[in-house]
């Protein structure tokens, strides 16, 4: 049996990947110099090759192709849901489609293993083509832009404790879910990183004219917000201010949470230390965990 382990063509950055390949480009691009490594194993051959991964996207909906794949009598292919949406009329030539399977492409896709798109950020997973997109939505190496103002750093979630310490002199505290812990905020603090098991959270401490605002976000995709919640309590004078909320993904456009605790500052009183008590709850993440460990 010969199995191809293909690599994406070129060192494309994640930011460039949104742009789709023009349709005039060849379907398969042949390897160019330098020669690619050839790995031979005892029971099966694995050949390395390069190709443009966009060639295996449905040219109508631009989603990755998956079986069943259909072709018209002229060989134009489309995914099954596009065939249905177009009432089994080929989008390219208007011939009937939806009856002839394109088994060659189905077989190619079934045998394909590809690296994660975040390989350059440290992900070493080799994924079946059909599992790749799902993994990438929850890949622990998804890069995030540093939320500190005027900082151009971007990296995987777990690189932020080191980055914040070196670039912003910001500390990281380790904590456990469902256990209360205390963070003491200095007047000069803008952020404190909070790290638990597989997730990095960011405590924001924003200064406003009449007081300060405290809330939490996390380095993860927006669809993971529902898997976390937290309690936050601040003592201000004789008052204890509390909030129960969901941390906001750092990727959300409007990064400031609409849920925050406002700590009013008495006029003409110098700002002092603020003691924040926190407890995080993480009831589990069955679906995303599958993506992380396919």
- The 41-80 site mask, x for binding Zn ion (CB under 5 A), equals -----------------x-xx----------x-x-x--x-
73-104 as b/e: b if 16+ CB within 10 A = eeebbbbbebbeeeeeebbeeeeebbeeebee
Q: Which two tokens stand for residue 224?
A: 């993971």
Interaction residues for Zn ion, span 154-183 (CB under 5 A): 167
Among 6, 56, 82, 232, binds Zn ion (CB under 5 A): 82
Q: At how many degrees (to 10) do helices 129-137 and 103-111 cross?
A: 50
Q: How far is the CB of 244 from Zn ion (least distance, A)?
A: 29
**Cis amide prior to 282 (ω within 30 degrees):** no
Q: How far is the CB of 141 from Zn ion (least distance, A)?
A: 5
Task: Give 125 or 248: the residue with its C-beta nearer to Zn ion.
Answer: 125
What ranges in the chain are assigned the alpha helix state H? 80-85, 103-111, 129-137, 160-168, 286-292
Stretch binding Zn ion (CB under 5 A), from 44-52, 122-130, 193-201, 267-275: 122-130
- The 139-158 site mask, x for binding Zn ion (CB under 5 A), equals x------x-x--x-x-----
By CB under 5 A, is residue 190 in contact with Zn ion? Answer: no
Long-range pairs for 105-109: beta carbons < 8 A, 24 or more residues apart:
105/56, 105/65, 105/69, 105/77, 106/67, 106/68, 106/69, 108/56, 109/56, 109/65, 109/66, 109/67, 109/69
Task: Give 74 or 176: the residue with its C-beta nearer to Zn ion.
Answer: 74
Task: Give 162 or 244: the residue with its C-beta nearer to Zn ion.
Answer: 162
Q: How far is the CB of 135 from Zn ion (least distance, A)?
A: 6
Would you tell me which residues interact with Zn ion (CB under 5 A)? 58, 60-61, 72, 74, 76, 79, 82, 90, 92-93, 95, 116, 118, 123, 125, 139, 146, 148, 151, 153, 167
């Amino acid at each position: 049996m010969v199995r191809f382990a293909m690599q994406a063509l070129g060192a494309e950055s994640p930011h460039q990947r949104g742009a789709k390949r023009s349709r005039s480009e060849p379907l398969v691009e042949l390897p160019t110099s330098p020669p690619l490594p050839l790995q031979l194993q005892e029971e099966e051959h694995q050949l390395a090759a390069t190709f443009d991964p966009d060639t295996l996207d449905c040219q109508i909906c631009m989603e990755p192709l998956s079986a069943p794949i259909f072709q018209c009598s002229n060989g134009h292919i489309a995914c099954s849901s596009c065939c249905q949406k177009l009432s089994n009329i080929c989008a390219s030539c208007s011939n009937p489609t939806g009856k002839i399977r394109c088994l060659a492409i189905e077989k190619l896709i079934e045998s394909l293993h590809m690296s994660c798109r975040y390989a350059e950020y440290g992900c070493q997973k080799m994924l079946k083509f059909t599992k790749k997109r799902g993994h990438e939505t929850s890949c622990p190496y998804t890069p995030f832009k540093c939320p500190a103002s005027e900082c151009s750093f971007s990296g995987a979630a777990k690189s932020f404790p080191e980055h914040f310490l070196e670039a912003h002199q910001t500390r990281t505290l380790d904590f456990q879910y469902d256990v209360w812990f205390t963070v003491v905020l200095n007047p000069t603090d803008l952020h404190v990183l909070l790290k638990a098991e597989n997730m990095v959270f960011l405590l924001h401490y924003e200064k406003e004219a009449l007081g300060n605002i405290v809330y939490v976000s996390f380095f993860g995709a927006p669809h993971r917000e529902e898997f976390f919640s937290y309690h936050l309590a601040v003592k201000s004078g004789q008052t204890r201010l509390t909030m129960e909320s969901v941390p906001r993904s750092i990727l959300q456009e409007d990064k400031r949470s609409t849920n925050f605790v406002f700590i009013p500052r008495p006029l003409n009183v110098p700002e002092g230390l603020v003691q924040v008590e926190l407890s995080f709850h993480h009831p589990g993440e069955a679906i995303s965990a599958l993506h992380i460990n396919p």
